[in-house]
Amino acid sequence: MKVLLRGVLFLDAVLNLLLGLLLLLSPSATLYSALQLPQPQPAFYGQLLGVALVGLAWLLWQATLNGQLTVAVARTVGQVNLAGALIVAVWTLFLDVPLQPAGKIWLLALAVVLAFFAVVQIPAAKKVRLREREQRDQREQDQERPSAKDARRNNGAPAARQTQSNEPRREPVITPPPGYGPGTEVMTESAPEETPPAHHARQNPHP
């Protein structure tokens, strides 16, 4: 949907640039006579409107490239295009404007194009804005879930450490085995001196 919106904004920028250049040439009576369009009088106002339309075309071009401007510019320009289409259609069809047949066709075609741009831009901008808001909320929820888990984990660890630190430290108790205590020490006896065996002594073979 956003790609379609950018495409319409680009076409709208081209249209506004062409209209702006045409109005900047308001002093040229020959050009307006060839197109069978009414010449702005005085030409000063026509040129001021031409400068405004060129600036609007530049803004639409920036909104086509910059995604952050697309929705806001499309919503605003869509309303402007709708108002412009109504004004051009009313003046062309119902008010006494000196127009030749070709000039009336040009203006009615302009009104139809502006209305088409408005019909596409206003709903598309609304849908893209809602989708971007849902995606932003989803990203925020995804970021909050890990942070909440980390917070619970961090809150549980200090509590466990604090519980362990508050308990008094106990020295290990060594219990002696049964029958062991004061006065029951076992005295080791020294080994008797070994006497040489009988065969080691010199004996008289003749008693």
Q: Is 29 left (phi over 0), alpha (psi -120 to 50) or beta?
A: alpha
Give the span between the Cα atoms of 182 and 162, in whole angstroms: 42
R_g over Cα of the chain: 50
Please report, as a single letter, which amino acid is at residue 201. A
Residues of the chain with pLDDT under 50: 200-202, 207
pTM attached to this predicted model: 0.66
Where are the domains positioned within the chain? Answer: 2-146
Give the span between the Cα atoms of 73 and 124, in whole angstroms: 12
Give the span between the Cα atoms of 13 and 63, in whole angstroms: 10
What is the pLDDT at residue 207? 47
